[in-house]
Amino acid sequence: MNLKFTKYQATGNDFILIDNRDGKIILSQQQIVQLCDRKFGIGADGLILIEPSDVAPFNVNYYNSDGSQSLCGNGSRAAVSFAASLTLLKDKTSFIAYDGLHDAELMPSGIVRLRMNDTNAVDASREDLFANTGSPHVIRFVNNIQDYPVFEEGKKVRYNDAYKPGGTNVNFVELQDNNALFVRTYERGVENETLSCGTGVTAAALAASTKGYTSPIQIKTLGGELSVTFKKGVNGEFTDIYLIGPAQKVFEGEIVLP
């Protein structure tokens, strides 16, 4: 089977995008893992199928590199850019993702503004904070983030009994001046640090509001810069959450599936 694909990156988070509007492509978990493998496949943090939807212009079917499914904020931004290349939208659109309906806007500059679903107050009952932004995220505030052992510490928390059975993503956040953050993320499903995580930086921004930070929050990652805007309610709930940043086509190709 010959499979056509397009490779995208969104602040260093990279994805395989596939047009499956005709529904003919059915991939096994093993095939998804192989395609995302950086030595034996195309290589990516995740794979996205653009598929038909009965309630929106399209469906974003996202898989992590281990074949598991979740919401991916950066992947959704890449999917919007890819969908525009398929003439599924001009500027504003909506789509169905793992956690439901999302609105999005593609700016002329290539910046994608993605509306995230509303979420409850940040859980500050433990030393590490927790927020669910479509995917579960632990947030730990640290100093000197450049030298922080993200992989080692992230792996410990990701498999901690407190977050079983599904586990959690883990974000390490350095508070910076001028309402800014530096975020590094250990991603569940990738099982490693990624250059950027959209749901992770969103969770970090919401958690930073407990430290007095206010919307909009500028966020630096190893893969580039993002911004998050939101409204915070009197009971700590969050609405009108937007993840904003670039998404870029890298290349396209065709691969033979066994």
Active-site residue list: 72, 197
Contact 154, 186 (CB under 8 A): yes
Indicate the SS3 state at residue 149: coil
State phi, psi for 28 to the nearest 5 degrees: -80, 165
Residue 126 class from Cβ within 10 Å (0-12 exposed, 13-18 middle, 19+ buried)?
A: exposed
Residue 43 counted as an annotated binding residue: no
Instruction: At 102, list the tokens.
Output: 């999302």
Q: Binding residue per annotation — 169?
A: yes
Rounded distance, CA 159 to CA 165, Å?
Answer: 9
Asked if residue 202 belongs to a known ligand binding site, the reply is no
Q: Is 115 annotated as a binding residue?
A: no
Classify strands 13-19 and 46-51 as parallel, antiparallel or unpaired: parallel
29: helix, coil or strand?
helix
The reply to whether 13 sits in an annotated binding site is: yes
The answer to whether 245 and 77 are in contact (CB under 8 A) is: yes
158 among annotated binding-site residues: no
174 annotated as ligand-binding = no
Q: Is 126 annotated as a binding residue?
A: no
Q: Is 67 annotated as a binding residue?
A: no
Q: What residues form DSSP beta bridges with 113? A: 105, 244
Interhelix angle 198-208/73-85, nearest 10 degrees:
130
User: How far is residue 248's CA from residue 244's CA, in Å, rounded to a whole number?
Assistant: 13
CA distance 200 to 169: 8
Annotated binding site for substrate: 13, 64, 73-74, 169, 187-188, 198-199
Annotated binding site: 13, 64, 73-74, 169, 187-188, 198-199
